[in-house]
Amino acid sequence: MDGSFFRSYRRCDVRDSEVLVAVTVPFTAQNEYFQGFKQARRRDDDIAIANAGLRVSLEDDVVTSVTLAFGGVAATTTLAAETMERMKGRKWNEELLQIVTKSLVEELEVAPTAPGGMTAYRTTLLPSFFFKFYLHVRDELSRTLETVSALAGHERALLQPHVRPPHVATHLYEKVPSDQSPIDPIGRPLVHATAHQQATGEATYVDDMPCYCNELFGVLVISTQARAYIVSVDAAEALAIPGVHIFLSAKDIPEERNKCGEIVLDEEVFASTSVKYVGQPVGLVVADSEDVARRAARLVRVTYKVVDKPIITLQEAIEAKSWLPPFTAYCGDVSAAHAAAEHSLSGEVHVGGQEHFYLEPNAHLIVPGECNSTEVFCATQCPSTMQKAIARALGVPANLVVVRTKRMGGGFGGKDSRSAMAVVPAALAANVTGRPVRIVLERAEDMLITGTRHPFFARWRVSFNNEGVIRAMEMDLFSNAGYSVDFSRAVMERAIFSADNSYYCPNVRVTGHVCITNLPSNTAYRGFGGPQAMLVREDIMARVAAFLGLDATRVREVNLYKDGDKTHFRQQLEACSVRRCWADVKEQAHFKRRQELVQEFNRTHVYQKKGLAIVPTKFGAAFTIKFLNQAGALVMVYRDGSVLLTHGGTEMGQGLHTKMIQVASKALEIPYNKIHISETATNKVPNASPTAASMSSDLNGEAVLRACQVLRDRLAPYRKQHPDAGWDSWVAAAYLDRVQLSATGFYSLPNVSPFNFETQEGTPFNYFCFGVAVSEVQVDCLTGDHTVLRTDIVMDVGKSLNPAVDIGQIEGAFLQGQGLFTLEELRYSPEGELLTKGPGTYKLPGVQDIPCELNVTLLREAGNPKAVYSSKAIGEPPLFLAASVFFAIREAIAAARSDERFRGHGISDSVPRNTTASTKTVQSGTSCNLGAATSTDFFRLDSPATAERIRMACCDRITDIVRMPTPGTYKPWDVTV
């Protein structure tokens, strides 16, 4: 096997008649050294961004033969033949290292148009790999040759293999009072109600349901263009396949019924005259089986006419002013405060989107019934929304459509409005054929069709004094909404309300621009715009600290909210616990001592750096759309004393049903195991709001409580008459007396009002959740790899209904946030096609990404009178705490950039040095500062902080010689949307 073995991508020099029978890997000879290297998007990923196999034979310290093989830089494994030739006969010293570094970059530079993108990073990795190999060989030579100097301690540290410490975790929460009734489950860490069924695979999801004998399967035909007119749709070849029943498209539905959309009817069930994004449904093939339907769908021919260039990126949308009318929240006099301030700073930052990647893709089963009725088994967060969408498309009243949701395999916001993209076409097919129709999206389909978390771009300006106290802030937020409105206006509202994070500022102006592009409609996602805006605010705090030369922790701390402060949207903070969380987590994390240890590590290590960061979060609890703040419940008591509970919320693994059973158990004063929840259905609780906004426990819990209180009142005479008889006897007696043993409960959230952006008035939130996290990371500055060594979290959850569920939500949200801010990256072609359509190219956090030590503490003595049993919302608030990892990475990068030993290694005198800025207003930059560290050595780090971004921000002699292509001079493989 040599350099000619690999002939092209996935093709090698093996004849069809040849069979591989053995692979021999020889031992190295004396004075021969070999090492392999791999860099992937995450450490435990098998698919490499770039890799290398490096071998050298030496006579004393002189190179006699060498092989440098690299993958990920071309269509096949490539030998650096020219570099290998230059190495022969040279001594293994610093001069050789400089020659190889320059030669590898020149010989194997990845073209900016190359498939896979990350071209400068891939080029940078090649000499970075070789540098590690160089040190390894030099270390071996120094043991036998006196002429070869031994490695320094920081060099030897780089050669140590990565060993992940054993995982450690602690969970701290308040125990229930000793006098609490043993059957009162509130505050107890009970196991999730269906945990055992889910862990063993016995839990039933939609696609697990047995098939009906006459069931059909539907597969969507989707657009391959992002912005084009439809010339024709030809399904003749597909319909000719045996087993194919129908092909539905826009021509089969009245125009008015083809319209859909969550807030605005600006979408179509099937594209009629034009398509607006790659993945837009054009039609539906319905066949006897999934295999036949998928084969037929590929045969439907759609002809397009492309007239206009699609708008894909936020930069393109901003240039075209393709946005909804902007809106602003403000307080104070921002202009006057800027003018009077001691310092001003401005900058930009981009926050990438995130795929929901629920384990269960969109799956729905539609069963037509008598009298034009329809029963729908639906994996959705909002059965009532699906009921409304289906009824509209079928042209029937909502009472003829029953939507049932037993559970989902994850949702995160992606199965709120966007489930309609799959379930409505299938409902139309069931209506036309009169037979049950199942539709289950494949992962790639789901990712193409349903949209993601909104990518954000922000421009900001901030003014502050010498102590880092923020006096004025203005921020322009731009979100990539995709092709339709959906929830994007509400997402931007939440982003504007979150732009303060946990910091007081008397003069603020935040303006939101919802940009319309030719991407799938981006939608709700855990946090709902809050994490993006809060990251922008934390970026401001980090850059202010860098500008002043202050510890970022100090700058954050002096600006934290206090109880009674007002936000920039003029809502007063009550029971603000952020300073308590801050103090507690600093103490529990031994912050000061570990900060000193990190500084000591960075003094003794050059190519590896550590970072430590503390970040708070504030999250407002309520739907910002007022009418959604309502919930209903139905509680039915049977003659044997068992209770069947139904409420408007859906279970997607988050433990909502478990908490609702606990609420009912306490309210009725009966054991937890006497209560069961079967499913959520529109024929049990009508007009339910989505299970979203972290409000499901608050709203549905109060509804359940009220229904149970009605039943308690009805049973009160029997309890009084026979106090020792027990629940079952009271129920039996009440039944014999013809007392109604079912009750409904309804709750509407008081004291909230929509925020009016014209008058700057309103109370959008019922209360606020707070939390603080400390994270420590270690970064490999030569590859961009990072390890989260430890995270400590203190979270205010009020009086926890279930500490086990709440801590699980905190840990899950944190890991999802970690994916958002450090790993998960959506890549689109310049034409708008999603290129990361599955786990092979889109990377979620893995086992090795979990913090090696993860400590979660629920804040003590933190009741909340504004929610059921003094609890607080939990689903979304903890997610942003993962930004502590992002900013710890930033601290590690800053340590590398300020270390002359790393930055200056091999730099020639011709490289310009950084100079101190002398102007009052400073625009933050993105370029590498290769000179001495100064107070203005701050830099832009966009999210996510991937290995690519980390490595390219750790500027050194290698990044200095890698050419960065000039935008606009080439067509890239992918673009940042």
**Active site amino acids:** 876
Alpha helices in 71-118 (DSSP H): 81-87, 94-107
3-class DSSP assignment, residue 379: coil
The residues near 663 (Cβ < 8 Å, ≥ 6 apart) are: 186, 701, 704, 705, 708, 801, 868, 869
Residues 267/482, Cβ–Cβ less than 8 Å: no
% helix, strand, coil for the chain, step of 5: 30, 25, 45
User: Would strands 343-351 and 456-464 be described as parallel, antiparallel, or unpaired?
Assistant: antiparallel
Q: Per residue in 841-861, is it b (16+ CB within 10 Å) or e — as a string?
A: ebbbbeeebbbbbbbbbbbee
Residue 51's beta-bridge partner residues?
Answer: 38, 71
Of the candidates 223, 226, 244, which has an alpha carbon nearest to the alpha carbon of residue 301? 223
3-class DSSP assignment, residue 442: coil
Q: In what order do the strands lie in the sheet with 767-780?
A: 168-172, 853-858, 786-795, 767-780, 608-621
Rounded CA-CA distance 491/494 in Å is 5
Rounded CA-CA distance 751/763 in Å is 7
Q: Which two tokens stand for residue 287?
A: 């066949």
Residues 513/549, Cβ–Cβ less than 8 Å: no
Of the candidates 599, 471, 479, 458, which has an alpha carbon nearest to the alpha carbon of residue 539? 458
Reported in sequence order, the residue ranges of 781-882 that DSSP labels E, i.e. its strands, are: 786-795, 853-858
Dihedral angle over CA of 465, 467, 473, 478, nearest 10: 130
The residues near 724 (Cβ < 8 Å, ≥ 6 apart) are: none
Rounded CA-CA distance 607/936 in Å is 23
Residues 857/173, Cβ–Cβ less than 8 Å: yes
Rounded CA-CA distance 944/353 in Å is 9
Reported in sequence order, the residue ranges of 608-674 that DSSP labels E, i.e. its strands, are: 608-621, 630-637, 643-647
Rounded CA-CA distance 184/440 in Å is 41
User: Would strands 853-858 and 168-172 be described as parallel, antiparallel, or unpaired?
Assistant: parallel
